[in-house]
Protein backbone atom coordinates (compact mmCIF):
# COMPACT_ATOMS: atom_id res chain seq x y z
CA UNK A 1 0.00 0.00 0.00
CA UNK A 2 2.84 2.39 0.73
CA UNK A 3 4.31 1.95 -2.76
CA UNK A 4 0.83 2.38 -4.26
CA UNK A 5 0.28 5.60 -2.26
CA UNK A 6 3.64 6.89 -3.48
CA UNK A 7 2.74 6.10 -7.11
CA UNK A 8 -0.71 7.68 -7.11
CA UNK A 9 0.50 10.82 -5.35
CA UNK A 10 3.23 11.21 -7.99
CA UNK A 11 0.43 11.11 -10.58
CA UNK A 12 -1.52 13.89 -8.82
CA UNK A 13 -4.14 11.65 -7.20
CA UNK A 14 -2.88 11.45 -3.62
CA UNK A 15 -5.20 10.50 -0.77
CA UNK A 16 -5.56 12.42 2.45
CA UNK A 17 -5.38 10.36 5.66
CA UNK A 18 -9.17 10.05 6.01
CA UNK A 19 -9.63 8.89 2.40
CA UNK A 20 -6.80 6.39 2.85
CA UNK A 21 -8.44 4.92 5.97
CA UNK A 22 -11.74 4.63 4.04
CA UNK A 23 -9.84 2.86 1.24
CA UNK A 24 -8.29 0.41 3.72
CA UNK A 25 -11.78 -0.36 5.07
CA UNK A 26 -12.95 -1.04 1.50
CA UNK A 27 -10.02 -3.41 0.87
CA UNK A 28 -10.65 -5.21 4.18
CA UNK A 29 -14.30 -5.67 3.26
CA UNK A 30 -13.64 -6.80 -0.35
CA UNK A 31 -10.99 -9.29 0.75
CA UNK A 32 -13.09 -10.44 3.71
CA UNK A 33 -10.19 -9.89 6.13
CA UNK A 34 -10.54 -10.22 9.88
CA UNK A 35 -9.35 -7.10 11.69
CA UNK A 36 -9.33 -5.65 15.19
CA UNK A 37 -10.72 -2.40 13.72
CA UNK A 38 -14.08 -1.16 14.94
CA UNK A 39 -16.53 -1.70 12.05
CA UNK A 40 -13.51 -2.79 9.94
CA UNK A 41 -12.39 0.85 9.78
CA UNK A 42 -8.82 1.53 10.93
CA UNK A 43 -8.27 4.48 13.23
CA UNK A 44 -5.58 7.11 13.39
CA UNK A 45 -3.45 4.98 15.75
CA UNK A 46 -3.21 2.37 12.98
CA UNK A 47 -2.58 5.14 10.42
CA UNK A 48 0.27 6.62 12.50
CA UNK A 49 1.85 3.18 12.92
CA UNK A 50 1.49 2.52 9.17
CA UNK A 51 3.16 5.83 8.34
CA UNK A 52 5.95 5.13 10.82
CA UNK A 53 6.56 1.63 9.37
CA UNK A 54 6.74 3.10 5.86
CA UNK A 55 8.58 6.35 6.54
CA UNK A 56 11.32 5.27 4.13
CA UNK A 57 8.74 5.24 1.28
CA UNK A 58 6.05 7.84 2.04
CA UNK A 59 5.30 10.86 4.21
CA UNK A 60 2.45 13.31 4.64
CA UNK A 61 3.08 16.20 2.24
CA UNK A 62 1.41 19.47 1.32
CA UNK A 63 0.01 19.34 -2.20
CA UNK A 64 0.91 21.93 -4.81
CA UNK A 65 -1.73 23.09 -7.26
CA UNK A 66 -1.50 21.68 -10.77
CA UNK A 67 -1.38 25.21 -12.14
CA UNK A 68 1.70 25.98 -10.03
CA UNK A 69 3.43 22.78 -11.17
CA UNK A 70 2.68 23.57 -14.81
CA UNK A 71 4.00 27.11 -14.43
CA UNK A 72 7.29 25.75 -13.07
CA UNK A 73 7.68 23.12 -15.83
CA UNK A 74 10.73 23.19 -18.03
CA UNK A 75 11.55 21.34 -21.24
CA UNK A 76 13.88 19.09 -19.26
CA UNK A 77 11.25 18.20 -16.65
CA UNK A 78 8.65 17.45 -19.35
CA UNK A 79 11.13 15.31 -21.32
CA UNK A 80 11.97 13.44 -18.10
CA UNK A 81 8.26 12.83 -17.39
CA UNK A 82 7.66 11.46 -20.91
CA UNK A 83 10.72 9.22 -20.63
CA UNK A 84 9.47 7.80 -17.29
CA UNK A 85 5.98 7.36 -18.76
CA UNK A 86 7.34 5.53 -21.82
CA UNK A 87 9.25 3.15 -19.50
CA UNK A 88 6.07 2.66 -17.44
CA UNK A 89 4.06 1.76 -20.57
CA UNK A 90 6.81 -0.54 -21.87
CA UNK A 91 7.09 -2.36 -18.51
CA UNK A 92 3.41 -3.29 -18.78
CA UNK A 93 3.70 -4.35 -22.44
CA UNK A 94 1.31 -1.63 -23.63
CA UNK A 95 3.54 0.27 -26.05
CA UNK A 96 1.65 -1.18 -29.06
CA UNK A 97 -1.76 -1.41 -27.34
CA UNK A 98 -2.93 2.21 -27.40
CA UNK A 99 -6.58 1.22 -26.88
CA UNK A 100 -5.61 -0.08 -23.41
CA UNK A 101 -3.88 3.15 -22.37
CA UNK A 102 -6.57 5.35 -20.84
CA UNK A 103 -6.55 8.83 -19.38
CA UNK A 104 -9.46 9.96 -17.25
CA UNK A 105 -10.34 13.28 -15.74
CA UNK A 106 -13.12 15.22 -14.15
CA UNK A 107 -14.37 18.76 -14.20
CA UNK A 108 -16.43 20.26 -11.42
CA UNK A 109 -18.82 23.11 -11.84
CA UNK A 110 -19.84 24.82 -8.61
CA UNK A 111 -23.55 25.40 -8.13
CA UNK A 112 -25.54 27.72 -5.94
CA UNK A 113 -22.67 30.06 -5.18
CA UNK A 114 -23.13 33.59 -4.00
CA UNK A 115 -22.39 36.02 -6.76
CA UNK A 116 -20.31 39.08 -5.97
CA UNK A 117 -19.01 42.06 -7.87
CA UNK A 118 -16.19 41.59 -10.36
CA UNK A 119 -14.41 43.91 -12.75
CA UNK A 120 -15.54 43.03 -16.25
CA UNK A 121 -16.95 44.23 -19.54
CA UNK A 122 -19.47 47.04 -19.81
CA UNK A 123 -23.15 46.07 -19.59
CA UNK A 124 -23.60 47.20 -23.17
CA UNK A 125 -20.90 44.80 -24.32
CA UNK A 126 -22.06 41.66 -22.54
CA UNK A 127 -25.24 42.15 -20.57
CA UNK A 128 -24.80 39.61 -17.79
CA UNK A 129 -21.45 38.60 -16.29
CA UNK A 130 -21.40 34.82 -15.88
CA UNK A 131 -20.40 33.39 -12.51
CA UNK A 132 -18.76 29.99 -12.68
CA UNK A 133 -16.79 29.28 -9.46
CA UNK A 134 -16.33 30.59 -5.95
CA UNK A 135 -18.76 31.30 -3.17
CA UNK A 136 -19.69 29.12 -0.24
CA UNK A 137 -21.72 26.24 -1.66
CA UNK A 138 -20.17 22.79 -1.79
CA UNK A 139 -22.73 21.54 -4.32
CA UNK A 140 -21.42 20.97 -7.80
CA UNK A 141 -22.02 19.19 -11.09
CA UNK A 142 -19.15 16.80 -11.79
CA UNK A 143 -18.43 15.49 -15.27
CA UNK A 144 -16.10 12.51 -15.56
CA UNK A 145 -14.57 11.67 -18.94
CA UNK A 146 -11.97 9.34 -20.41
CA UNK A 147 -10.18 8.61 -23.65
CA UNK A 148 -7.61 6.14 -24.89
CA UNK A 149 -4.27 6.74 -26.60
CA UNK A 150 -5.75 5.57 -29.92
CA UNK A 151 -8.22 8.48 -29.82
CA UNK A 152 -11.31 6.61 -28.62
CA UNK A 153 -13.46 8.81 -26.38
CA UNK A 154 -15.62 7.15 -23.75
CA UNK A 155 -19.02 8.75 -23.14
CA UNK A 156 -19.02 11.07 -20.11
CA UNK A 157 -20.52 10.32 -16.73
CA UNK A 158 -22.36 13.13 -14.93
CA UNK A 159 -22.78 13.39 -11.16
CA UNK A 160 -25.54 15.79 -10.16
CA UNK A 161 -26.28 17.12 -6.68
CA UNK A 162 -29.44 15.99 -4.92
CA UNK A 163 -32.37 16.45 -4.96
CA UNK A 164 -33.25 14.55 -8.13
CA UNK A 165 -34.91 16.91 -10.59
CA UNK A 166 -38.33 15.39 -11.31
CA UNK A 167 -39.67 15.63 -14.86
CA UNK A 168 -36.22 16.60 -16.15
CA UNK A 169 -34.12 14.43 -18.47
CA UNK A 170 -30.70 14.77 -16.87
CA UNK A 171 -28.96 13.66 -20.06
CA UNK A 172 -30.87 15.90 -22.47
CA UNK A 173 -28.36 17.21 -25.01
CA UNK A 174 -25.50 15.00 -23.86
CA UNK A 175 -23.49 12.47 -25.85
CA UNK A 176 -25.05 9.08 -26.57
CA UNK A 177 -24.39 6.39 -23.93
CA UNK A 178 -23.60 8.98 -21.24
CA UNK A 179 -24.37 7.96 -17.69
CA UNK A 180 -25.38 9.83 -14.55
CA UNK A 181 -25.92 9.55 -10.83
CA UNK A 182 -26.99 11.81 -7.98
CA UNK A 183 -25.02 12.33 -4.78
CA UNK A 184 -25.46 14.67 -1.82
CA UNK A 185 -22.94 17.24 -3.11
CA UNK A 186 -22.56 16.18 -6.76
Tens digit of each residue's pLDDT, the chain (186 residues)? 888 888 877 776 778 888 889 999 999 999 998 888 888 899 999 999 999 999 888 888 877 776 677 777 889 988 988 898 899 889 989 989 999 888 888 887 766 556 565 545 455 555 554 544 444 455 677 888 899 999 998 888 888 877 776 766 667 777 788 888 888 766
- pLDDT score of 5: 85
Shared-domain flag, residues 45 and 116: no
Examine the fold and report which residue of 40, 63, 86 is the final residue of a domain before the chain moves on.
63
Shared-domain flag, residues 103 and 171: yes
- pLDDT score of 151: 92
The answer to pTM > 0.75 is: no
Q: Give the CA distances from residue 17 to residues 22, 36, 39, 60, in Å, rounded to whole numbers and listed in that order.
A: 9, 19, 18, 8
Shared-domain flag, residues 58 and 103: no
- pLDDT score of 3: 85
- pLDDT score of 139: 66
- pLDDT score of 118: 53
Shared-domain flag, residues 104 and 165: yes
Domains held by the chain: number? 2
- pLDDT score of 127: 53
- pLDDT score of 68: 72
Shared-domain flag, residues 167 and 119: yes
Domain containing 160 equals 99-183
Shared-domain flag, residues 114 and 170: yes
Q: How far is CA 165 from the centre of its chain?
A: 25
Angle (CA) 6-63-75 rounded to 5° is 80
3-state class of 10 per DSSP? helix
Examine the fold and report which residue of 13, 43, 63 is the final residue of a domain before the chain moves on.
63
Query: 30-60 pLDDT, tens per residue?
Result: 999 888 888 889 999 999 999 999 988 888 8
Q: How far is CA 36 from the centre of its chain?
A: 31
Amino acid sequence: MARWLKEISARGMGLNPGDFLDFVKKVVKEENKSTPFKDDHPGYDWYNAFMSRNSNIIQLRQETSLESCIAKSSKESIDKWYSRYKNFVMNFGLIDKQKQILNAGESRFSMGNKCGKVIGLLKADLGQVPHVVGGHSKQRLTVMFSGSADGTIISPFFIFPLPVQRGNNSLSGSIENSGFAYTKKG
